[in-house]
Each structure stands twice: as structure tokens, then as C-alpha cells.
Structure 1
Amino acid sequence: MDTRKRTLIKAVIWNLIGLSVMMTVGFIATGSFAVGGAMAVVNASIGLTTYVLYERVWDRVQWGRNV
């Protein structure tokens, strides 16, 4: 079982990766670093929240675990 701290650290690292990818995609799509960055920040905020919740839910599911 992951600790809450480990779950949060994993989520932050994953979202930093996603933030850079989304900012690049946003820049390519719009030609603006400001718009691409704003899109990335909104996406990362939503993604971080849902990822942490997702990990915490799955941490409680016993199905498929080898104990």
C-alpha cells in the first residue's frame, strides 16, 4: 500500500510531465506560449486532482493483489 505522501509525489511528477507535454501541444495548436501555458495549467490542475483520487480509490481495492 502506498502512503499518501508517495501517492502525492507520484501524482506531482506525473503532472509535471503532462504539463510540459500539454504546453507543447497547446503552443503547436495556438502558436502562443501564453495560451498553451494556460491550457496546460488548467489541464494539470484537473489531472492532479483526479489522479490522486484515482490512486487512493485503487489503493483500497483488494482485487488482483498478491498478498
Structure 2
Amino acid sequence: METRARTLVKAVVWNAIGLGVMSLVGLAMTGSAAVGGAMAAINTGIGLTCYFVYERVWSRINWGRAHG
């Protein structure tokens, strides 16, 4: 089972990568760094929360794990 700290670090790192990508996509799509950045920040906040909960749920499910 993963610790909450490990899950949180994984979520933060993954979402930092996503923030950078979404900022560039937002900038490319809107032509505005402010709008692209706002879109990315909102998406990252939602994604971080969802990813953390998702990982915590799956850490408690034994299905598909190899033991031994």
C-alpha cells in the first residue's frame, strides 16, 4: 500500500507536468498567456484533487496485484 505522502508527491509532479503542457496549449489556442494560464491552473487544481482521490481508492483494491 502506498503512503499518502507518496501519493501526494506523485500527484503534484504529474500535475506540474500537466500545468506546463496545458499552459502551452491554452496559449496556442487563445493567444493569451493570462487566459491560457488560468485555464491550466483551474485544470491542474481539479486534476490534482481527482488524481489523489483516484490513487487512494486504487491503493486499497487488491485486484490485479501480483503477490510473491
TM-score by length of 1: 0.98
Q: Does 1:31 align with 2:31?
A: yes
Specify the alignment match of 1:41 in structure 2.
41
* 5+ long unaligned stretches in structure 2: none
Q: Distance in 2 between matches of 1:2 and 1:16?
A: 20
Q: CA RMSD in A?
A: 0.4
Aligned mates of 1:22, 1:62 — CA distance in 2: 33
Q: State the partner residue of 1:5.
A: 5
| TM-score, with length taken from structure 2 | 0.97
Structure 1: how far apart are the matches of 2:5 and 2:30? Answer: 36
Structure 1 residue 61 displacement after superposition: 0.5
- Name the CA distance, whole Å, in 2 between partners of 1:34 and 1:44: 15
**Percentage of matched positions with identical amino acids:** 64
For structure 1, the 5+ residue unaligned runs are: none
Distance in 2 of aligned mates of 1:20 and 1:65: 33
